[in-house]
Each structure stands twice: as structure tokens, then as C-alpha cells.
Amino acid sequence: MYPLLPFAAGLLAGAVVTRLVKADRARASLDRAQDRAWTSLGKAQDRLREATVSSLAAIEHTSAGLRAKLTHEGEEASGAEAAGTRAEARASATTAGPDTSDDAMPTPRARRRAAPKAPTAAKPATRTRRAAKTEKAEKSDKESL
């Protein structure tokens, strides 16, 4: 029995040491994984911010081009007198705020009606297997009486 005690003590000590080593490794690997996750999250956030800024800049550029095109076409169509009044109106609109008159607001489109639902046809009455068995059993019971 004495040789068995040192063996058990060694086995127990080995298990404890193994757990401690694994716990240290696990803690270290978790810390490294957490650091990697935070850095990748920061990179993703930076990329998203850059993409948002570039898309907003593209929208701004496109709207400025369309605005210039529309004002240029409007000036050609209405002549020089209307161009002066539009420039004055635009200057007063920027100082007074957005134009909320009925002429400036586009008319809303009418909503389409939903298509009427097609009537559903009634399903023909069919017997289930259970109903057929019960009818068969009732017939056989009547015949046996």
C-alpha cells in the first residue's frame, strides 16, 4: 500500500500542474484574442467611417452637378429676366429658410388600389382513411346484429 501513496500523490500533483499550465495558456490566448478582436473592430469602424464619408461626398458632388444643370437649363428656357429673379429668390430662400409654399412642394402621387382577392373555390368533401374505417366498422356491426 505504501508504493501506491507516492503514485497517487504524483498523479494528483501532475493534474494540478497541468491545469495551472493550461489555465495560464488559456488566459494568455484569451487576452490575445481579445486584443485582436478590438483591433479588428477598430479597423472595421474606421473603414465604415471612410466609406460613409466618401459616399456622402459623392452624393454632395452629384447633387451639386444636378443643381447646376437644372439651373442652367432653367436660365436658358426662361431668359435673362427670370434668371435675375431666381437668383434673388434663391438668395432670399437661403437666408429665410426653405420654401414651403404650395408651388414649391411636389404633388403627391395617388396610391394604387390593391387588387381584389380572387374567391377561393371550396374543396370537395373527401373522406379520410379514419372515416372510411369507421364507416366500414359500423356496417360490419350492423350486419352482425
Q: pLDDT tens digits, residue range 46-100?
A: 999 999 999 999 999 999 989 888 887 766 666 545 555 555 656 555 554 455 5
Tens of pLDDT, residue by residue over 108-136, are 667 777 777 776 666 555 667 777 777 88
Contact predicate 92/101, CB 8 Å? no
Q: Please give the model's pTM, rounded to 2 decimal places.
A: 0.34
∠129-134-140 over CA atoms, to 5°?
125
**pLDDT confidence of 26, banded at 50, 70, 90?**
confident
* CA distance linking residue 104 with residue 86, whole number of Å: 13
**pLDDT confidence of 40, banded at 50, 70, 90?**
very high
